[in-house]
């Protein structure tokens, strides 16, 4: 009946809530904020989602499954471990630039609720992604291209930390890099992503790179 191209009231609420939860947090975002941003009646939120918290969980679920889908492709994209590492880091930055809400939302969830709301979602999406990244590192260690004295799980954490930190700390990094008053330009973010791939591969490799 109503085509899937015309965004339903439900989807408009979901989109508006995602943006507001990311920018202001669950607590500081009011039902009326969401209604106004969605161009819908605030009371509709209760009709579709039951409560503000259930809406929040719906938002988290959508972001996490999106992230897992994109991340999975990157791990498989290259046969050589070093190239796969670079691909994962590049995909991370691409995802984050395309979904600026995602990192804010997830970091808030980690700090505000210690991942309680997202625990089940993390285990069925991000955790398998993490395991596969660890697998790539272990494979590199077996074929001799990576140093054997690093713990693969720790190395995976160090690898993905770079882009996440860059994104979260972007206002501070803007100050550090003395890049004007308003944040870090996207071009710099892309340069950093290339650097982060090199940095991780350099840390993992037995010989110097390039």
Q: Is 198 exposed, middle or buried (0-12, 13-18, 19+ CB in 10 A)?
A: middle
# chain residues binding DNA, by CB under 7 A: 16
Tell me how long the chain is.
210
Are 134 and 152 in contact, with CB atoms under 8 Å apart?
Answer: yes
Q: Does 46 contact DNA by CB under 7 A?
A: yes
Are 22 and 32 in contact, with CB atoms under 8 Å apart?
Answer: no
Q: Does 37 contact DNA by CB under 7 A?
A: no
Stretch that binds DNA, among 34-42, 59-67, 134-142, 197-205 (CB under 7 A): 34-42
Residue 39 C-beta: closest distance to DNA, Å: 9
Interacting residues toward a copy of itself by CB under 8 A: 24-25, 27-28, 104, 107-108, 110-112, 114-115, 119, 122-123, 126-127, 130-131, 147, 149-151, 153-155, 157-158, 160-162, 164-166, 168-173, 175-177, 183, 191-192, 195-196, 198-200, 202-210
Site string for DNA, 1-30 (x = CB under 7 A): --------xx------------------xx
Strand segments (E) across the chain: none
CB-nearer residue toward DNA: 41 or 191: 41
- Say what the alpha-carbon torsion angle 37, 39, 40, 42 is, to the nearest 10 degrees: 30
| Cβ density class 151-167: b for 16+ within 10 Å, e for less | ebeebbeebbebbeebb
Site for DNA, rule CB under 7 A? 9-10, 29-32, 40-44, 46-47, 51-53
């Amino acid at each position: 009946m109503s085509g899937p191209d015309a965004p339903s009231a439900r989807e408009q609420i979901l989109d508006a809530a995602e943006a507001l939860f990311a920018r202001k947090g669950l607590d500081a975002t009011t039902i009326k904020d969401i209604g106004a941003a969605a161009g819908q009646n605030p009371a509709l939120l209760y009709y579709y989602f039951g409560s503000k918290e259930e809406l929040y969980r719906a938002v988290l679920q959508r972001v996490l499954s999106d992230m897992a889908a994109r991340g999975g492709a990157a791990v498989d994209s290259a046969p050589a471990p070093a190239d796969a590492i670079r691909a994962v880091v590049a995909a991370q930055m691409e995802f984050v630039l395309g979904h600026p809400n995602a990192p804010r939302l997830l970091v808030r969830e980690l700090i505000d609720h210690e991942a309680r709301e997202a625990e089940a979602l993390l285990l069925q999406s991000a955790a398998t992604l993490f395991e596969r990244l660890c697998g790539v590192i272990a494979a590199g260690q077996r074929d001799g291209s990576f140093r054997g004295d690093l713990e693969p799980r720790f190395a995976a954490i160090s690898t993905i930390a770079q882009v996440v930190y860059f994104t979260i700390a972007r206002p501070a990094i803007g100050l550090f890099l003395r890049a004007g008053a308003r944040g870090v330009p996207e071009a710099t973010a892309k340069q950093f992503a290339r650097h982060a791939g090199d940095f991780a591969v350099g840390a993992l490799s037995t010989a110097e790179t390039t």
